[in-house]
Amino acid sequence: MRNLWHGNVQDIREEISTSAPPYSSTKNPYFEKIRSFCGTRCFVNEETENNQTRWRECFKNYPPELHVEIGCNGGHYLLEKARLNPKCAFIGIDWKLKQIYKASEKANKQHLTNTLFLKANAERIANIFGQHEIDHLYCFFPDPWPKQSQQKKRFFTKERLTQISNIIKPGGIFEIKTDHEDYYAWILKELQKVKHQWNIIENQKDIYKNHPNPSNLKIPEITLFEKIFIREKKP
């Protein structure tokens, strides 16, 4: 999707600040591992909101484009994108300390200085990034919360799509993938409620249906999840 909107970010920040829970202390051993190993290349909890509007300053030579992945896991996709695009900046977000630590560790081993990782609640994304700060946002295979009682937990709502439209630059891209057919329909329905803010530039129900041999695709053409889905012939 391409962002069309030029909204007021202050109202969005106040709204999301009350909708997402504050961070609590943790005894997770990976918290200290991140502190001792990752240094300034990794931010945790409240720290992830200290550089709002200034994330490009955390990278050498102030890169022209900022790419952000929601739910980056161990960084499989983002690290490869960063390796292939050294002049762009990449930030991965995940709520799991262990995965953020692993992603940072791999970035260090690969000497990738154009990456940062945030252990953060994605629901607070409008507190993390400033108005028009992101060029390209990715969200691949979010939890579909399939049960009726769980659907209120789904990430994609018209309210969040409005929030996100403010932190992506006008004309910027938001790329979404899901393997869950009901969630796919849900996202399209929520988008219709904010269609004045977004322009859908590509919409495919089965991305690799006409591909001659999708099993040959490699990261970052596909994600680790997609490798599984392709093998199972799942759209």
**pLDDT digits 0-9 by tens, 177-189:** 999 999 999 999 9
Give the model's pLDDT for residue 11. 46
Q: What is the pLDDT of residues 100-143, one digit of tens each?
A: 999 999 999 999 999 999 999 999 999 999 999 999 999 999 99
Can you give the pLDDT at residue 16? 46
For the chain, the average pLDDT equals 89
- Under DSSP, is residue 68 helix (H, G, I), strand (E, B) or coil? strand
Q: Which pTM value belongs to this model? A: 0.89
What confidence score (pLDDT) does residue 17 get? 46
Angle at which helices 29-37 and 97-109 pack, to 10 degrees? 20
Q: What is the four-CA torsion angle of 215, 108, 85, 56, rounded to 10 degrees?
A: 130
CA distances in angstroms from 36 to 45, 131, 192, listed in the order given: 16, 32, 46
Q: Is the peptide bond before 235 cis (omega within 30 degrees of 0)?
A: no
Strand boundaries in 143-206, DSSP class E: 168-177, 198-199
Return the amino acid letter for 113. T
For residue 162, pLDDT over 80 is answered with yes
pLDDT(13) > 50: no
φ/ψ (deg, to 5) at 231: -60, -35
pLDDT of the residue at 20: 58
pLDDT-based confidence at residue 5 (cuts at 50, 70, 90): low
